[in-house]
Amino acid sequence: MHWQRAVERLHWHAVVASGTSVHARREVMSVTELWDHPEPFFIEMTATKADLDSYEHVNNVVYIRWLESCAWAHSAAVGLPEAQCVAMARGMAVRTINVNYLVACYEGDRLLIGNWISANDGKLRITRRYQILNPVSGVTVLRGHVDFVCMNLERGRPVKMPVEFLKAYQVTIVGGSVTEPLPTITDSGLQ
């Protein structure tokens, strides 16, 4: 959709003319100006009634599902759809999730879920950074990061990333790191 490239934000500026008039001025803000980092991979989601909790806000677990959907869509876009990972018996499993919920979302809210690869150790781990935007209001709804570890799907153990993963999961944040400190993996598992 065209609103992915440019989003209209309404900024109300009170202008007193003759003591009573208030005028609205429209400004156009590019979505690219709203992202924390340039060139995210992103998907669109619209909050539905089924996504809401008893407070009529989007349930916390739904945001995590959206992050996962974004990661799988990105993987498919870089040539690693889920079916190929299963066929290779290799996959990136979540090690840790850290999210900061900043603003509540409601039914009908249209959102952009963006992600970047911020670290790849070239062996076992990658980190994805996430940002969820409400492009209509221009507000960041959530920021977070998820650490993934490459797993042998048949044995359930950490394993070195295959070449296909190394090529697909390149660091996409300027200043991102291929050597960012990552948790230690031993024979007994992750530490």
128-148 pLDDT, tens per residue?
Answer: 999 999 999 999 999 999 999
pTM: 0.78
Q: What is the overall mean pLDDT for the chain?
A: 83
Q: Tell me if residue 88 falls in helix, strand or coil.
A: helix
Residue 175 backbone zone (phi > 0: left; psi -120 to 50: alpha; other: beta)? left
The yes-or-no verdict on residue 109 having pLDDT over 90 is yes
The answer for residues whose C-beta is within 8 angstroms of residue 48's C-beta and 6 or more apart is: 107
Q: Which domains are delineated in the chain?
A: 1-30 (no CATH), 34-190 (3.10.129.10)
The yes-or-no verdict on residue 115 having pLDDT over 80 is yes
Tokens of 156: 């359930």
